[in-house]
Amino acid sequence: MLHIINKSPLTNCALDSCLRVAQSGDILLIEDAVYAATSGNAFEGKIREAMGRFKIHVLRPDLEARGLADRIIAGILPVDYGGFVELTTTNKNCQSWL
Amino acid sequence: MSTIEVEGKTYETDEEGYLTNLADWNKDIAEYIAKTENVEMTEQHWEVINFLREYFEEYQIAPAVRVLTKAIGKKLGADKGNSEYLYGLFPYGPGKQACKIAGLPKPTGCI
Amino acid sequence: MSDIKKFMFVNRKAPYGTIYALESLEVVLITAAFDQDVSLVFLDDGVYQLKKGQQTKGIETKNFSPAYRALEGYDIEKLYVEKESMEARGLSEEDLLVDVTVMGRAEMGELMDQQDVVLSF
């Protein structure tokens, strides 16, 4: 299953809830959720812990917009819009944690 | 939506005559808009227009008149950095009118 | 002048994900015309508004971050960043595109207390 998150982990508990409830699958961080993919963020520990269970992707254009494309935590996979579409088609279902 | 036609090409503007796409701008369009505003472009006018273009390039906003006046004074000298001089060139306002000719949006906060 | 008031803009949202950051900036630019004592505060995700190197071509949105560098020309020179917020995001002063005063949360709280008007974004 694909989990899509679009909120910053430091202002909203969407990513936290996702990590608590979901067991495995793909996670795609978009919009303000891309901050969760950056090193030095207070959420980094939780993301690293989740990397064992999930494959974590981040939408690169959103990261670039925020000036953080050079801060991706190693092991998180940057994707472009094509990659975004591919993730939605290769997974049998998808949830947006709004 | 409104349009203007310059040298056989059509360009989109808003209802007040400001260019919709900043990238469309060129000197012919500037001359055309100036004419509709009854402004005859001289070297002194171009100096202000070019300054506005550079300011926008750098900060991505059109400066308020007060800010423009101060910045022009800094760059081109005190004899040009005052409202008398700038309103002399652009009677309807160095913000409103000059920005229109420069192909920039109306300055934020300009009524 | 005796009618100068202390205005503080509190910015707590990241740019682009919501419209708050841009709206705040526009109100600040307009307020500058009224010659008041204006301070801008950046805390929580608001610190991200000042991150250097924003490139918005890929999301087809206007990059408004260069406008923070124009604030000085508008005589808005009091920019404060909360230290704890900055550090929790892995950022340092060198990551920011304008000169700011970094202060701890207690000091920032005091500064808020001193204001006549606080506008929150």
Considering only alpha carbons, which residue of chain C is nearest residue A30?
C17
User: Are the Cβ atoms of C88 and A41 closer than 8 angstroms?
Assistant: yes
pLDDT given for residue C2 in this prediction: 61
- CATH code given to domain C6-120: 3.40.1260.10
| Touching chains, B (3+ CB pairs < 8 A) | C
Strand B2-6 and strand B9-13: pairing? antiparallel
pLDDT given for residue B111 in this prediction: 45
Contact between C44 and A11 (Cβ < 8 Å) = yes
Strand, helix or coil for residue B19? strand
Exposed e or buried b per residue across B4-26, where buried means at least 16 C-beta atoms within 10 angstroms of its C-beta: beeeeeebebeeeebbeeeebbe
**What is the least distance, in Å, from the CA of B88 to any CA of chain C?**
22
A near B: at least 3 beta-carbon pairs less than 8 Å apart:
no
Distances (CA, A) of C45 to A11, A19, A24, A31, B72: 7, 21, 28, 13, 36
Question: What is the ipTM, given to two decimal places?
Answer: 0.93
What whole-number distance in Å separates Cα of residue C47 and Cα of residue C62?
A: 19
* Domain ranges across chain A: 2-97
Residue A71 with chain C: CB contacts under 8 Å: 90
Contact between A5 and A30 (Cβ < 8 Å) = yes
HSE-CB for C32 with a 13 A CA cutoff: 26
User: Are the Cβ atoms of B59 and C29 closer than 8 angstroms?
Assistant: no
Q: What is the pLDDT of residues C30-51, one digit of tens each?
A: 998 888 999 999 999 999 999 9
* Domain ranges across chain B: 2-101
**What is the least distance, in Å, from the CA of C49 to any CA of chain B?**
15
- CATH code given to domain B2-101: 1.10.10.370
Instruction: Give the CATH class of A2-97.
Output: alpha beta
What whole-number distance in Å separates Cα of residue C74 and Cα of residue C70?
A: 7
Share of chain C above pLDDT 70, in %: 98
